Amino acid sequence: MNHTAAFSQGRSVFRCPVCEKPLRCEDGHLACADGHSFDISKQGYVNLAFKTKGSADHYDKASFQNRHQILEAGYYSHLAEELIRILEKLPHVVTVLDAGCGEGYYARALRSRLQKQVIACDLSRDSIQMAAKNDSGFIQWFVGDSARLPIRSHSINCVLDIFAPANYGEFRRVMTRDGYIIKVIPGNGHLKEFRQLAKEQLRRQDYSNQQVIDYFTKHFDLVERKLVSKTWEMPPVHREIFADMTPLLFHIDRRDIDLSQTRTLTVEGEILVGRPLDGDAPTEKTHKSAKRKTHKPALHK
């Protein structure tokens, strides 16, 4: 498949990061009526970041390569399977945006199993380059900031935010009124073995995701919540790579922890499925209900 193929498929959901006019795919680039034009690279991604930034803090090329190895080894496959299960129950979801997609594991997994138009972005060009290289031209990859998405308002049926920073105001703007947000956050038991090993160095020894959940429910109607957890036997080489890639240990001197003290590692995510508080009534009946309130979406990081 040629490198521009993904951008010619489905509805164009992109808008110009400069003038906000719709972008269309023509002759190997995305262009707006005002003449702003963005090349689709030969790897199959487009840079729509308002200002070109290298990488988000701590996320360099090596960290994405590590992440890629761990994800491809299957240690997060139970999370990917659950996300597929949730999306399978939502047939009216046609367009899915993976915001902060990293090296693209989840976007690829969803696109290979579901008939959906998958669009995926990350602030880091290194990650998007890697993501596009590992795809055969099915996903619309772009470099972009979740806080300022080059996406038309109300054009996305489902925003995915997997272990990545959220901007609920912006997510709400791009979501259709009957759309969904699926957010994955670390479960309280996520990497509990590493947490135990690094307990002297970590500011908080126990982790609670309650604040994140409370903040989510201020902005969205929580229709499903699922804890997905698996404890893996992990060979030493994978434990090392995992320790290098996890934000949990970004600020820890690795010489202070002895990874040989654990043979297992728990990978635990909490999946939150939300709908706009002021959106249309749900079309599926598979959800726990929550009272709808009127609200104004607030921007946050």
Ligand X SMILES: C[S@@+](CC[C@H](N)C(=O)[O-])C[C@H]1O[C@@H](n2cnc3c(N)ncnc32)[C@H](O)[C@@H]1O
Which positions lie near ligand X, rule CB under 6 A? 56, 59, 67, 100-102, 105, 122-124, 127, 145-147, 162-165, 247
* Residue 260 beta carbon to ligand X: minimum distance, rounded to whole angstroms: 25
Q: Which is nearer to ligand X, 145 or 221 (by Cβ)?
A: 145
Q: Which is nearer to ligand X, 60 or 178 (by Cβ)?
A: 60
Q: Which is nearer to ligand X, 17 or 100 (by Cβ)?
A: 100
* Residue 102 beta carbon to ligand X: minimum distance, rounded to whole angstroms: 3
Tokens of 72: 């491809």
CA proximity to 79, closest of 182, 1, 158: 182
Q: Which is nearer to ligand X, 31 or 64 (by Cβ)?
A: 64
Which residue lies nearest ligand X, judged by its C-beta? Answer: 102
Q: Are 106 and 160 in contact (CB under 8 A)?
A: yes
User: HSE (CB half, 13 Å, CA atoms) of 224?
Assistant: 22
Q: Which amino acid is at 25?
A: C
* Residue 56 beta carbon to ligand X: minimum distance, rounded to whole angstroms: 4
* Residue 171 beta carbon to ligand X: minimum distance, rounded to whole angstroms: 11
Query: Helical H runs in the chain?
Result: 5-8, 61-72, 77-88, 105-113, 125-133, 168-174, 192-197, 210-219, 236-245
* Residue 205 beta carbon to ligand X: minimum distance, rounded to whole angstroms: 21
Q: Which is nearer to ligand X, 56 or 222 (by Cβ)?
A: 56
Q: For residue 122, what are the β-bridge partners?
A: 143
Q: Which is nearer to ligand X, 67 or 219 (by Cβ)?
A: 67
Q: Which amino acid is at 32?
A: C
- The burial class, CB within 10 Å (0-12 / 13-18 / 19+), for 87 is buried
Q: Are 27 and 34 in contact (CB under 8 A)?
A: no
